[in-house]
Amino acid sequence: MSDDDFILMARPDVLRQHSAWMDKLGLERRLADNTLEAYQRDLRQFLVFLTHHLGGTPGLDDLANLRPADMRAFLANRRNKGAGARTLGRSLAGIRSFLRFLEKQGLANAAGINAMRAPRQPKSLPRPLTDSQAIALTRSDEHLADEPWVAARNAAVLALLYAGGLRISEALNLRTADLSGNSTSLMIKGKGGKTRMVPLLSVALAAVRQYQKLCPWHLDDDKAMFRGVRGGPLQPAIIQREMRKLRSALGLPDSATPHALRHSFATHLLAGGGDLRSIQELLGHASLSTTQVYTGVDTKRLLETYQKAHPRA
């Protein structure tokens, strides 16, 4: 039996509740169409599985008596068919939503599925740029803005992301006073209100000074240093749009985003001999385990170099 057979094979009581659940998700919670389709597909797959698992089309009474073992069997079945951890986690979320909907009406007990943990999600490695790609993005002559001051502004923002490992929000929240004189470091207020000291490389400071020299707006010490074309605080979407234009012009991959420059900062420091604890402090990570992901990136780069360079590879 295919997954599509659920529409025909579902018992009327389940079919009615399924329809009411979808209405609630769409009208009251205003979930996106893609999310609704995914939830519907996940529930359909679950009920098709239960038809085989229980030896008959499940009704509300069967759903009311589900055990954790039934859910584990479903996840194992999906895993055997090639579903990954993310797919399984989403499936569990969709089924849990439906059973909780039934539980609120006294039609099921969701305690079993509520007690289940979603499969552990694999940590995806950051995708840093190469040294030459990152440097190209921080040069104002590579930027495509019509106004020289806008090109200098964009280059200065990206230079701070790469030279200091800043998040885009941290760079755009800088006040003019934060970069007064011949600053050699920056005090950055990051996530959770935590502050950290970040060294300010001369190349990044030079990019900022070039922007300040060309900017047509008066840059008050206590206000945002980076400005939009109308003089207001610069918005992240503007830098993200500029990066998309640069990707096309410079032939960079889609993974070349403003945040990729922060990844590149960490990866290139590690490759150059930086220690993880120092990189953790520079990035403002609360836990060293968050920073350790870059060891995976560096190992991957090392293996790729080995495969290309070794004569017996």
Q: Which residues are known catalytic residues?
A: 167, 191, 259, 262, 285, 294
d(CA 205, CA 142): 18
Backbone angles phi, psi at 224, to 5 degrees: -55, 130
d(CA 170, CA 197): 12
d(CA 189, CA 169): 10
Tell me how far apart the terminal alpha carbons of the chain are, to the nearest angstrom: 48
Give the SS3 label for residue 185: strand
d(CA 37, CA 148): 47
Question: Residue 202 contacts by C-beta under 8 Å, 6 or more apart in sequence?
Answer: none
Q: Is 257 exposed, middle or buried (0-12, 13-18, 19+ CB in 10 A)?
A: buried
d(CA 313, CA 311): 6
d(CA 233, CA 225): 8
What Rg do the C-alpha atoms of the chain give, in angstroms?
26
Contact 230/242 with Cβ under 8 angstroms? no
Q: Is 12 exposed, middle or buried (0-12, 13-18, 19+ CB in 10 A)?
A: exposed
CA nearest 76: which of 96, 43, 53, 107? 53
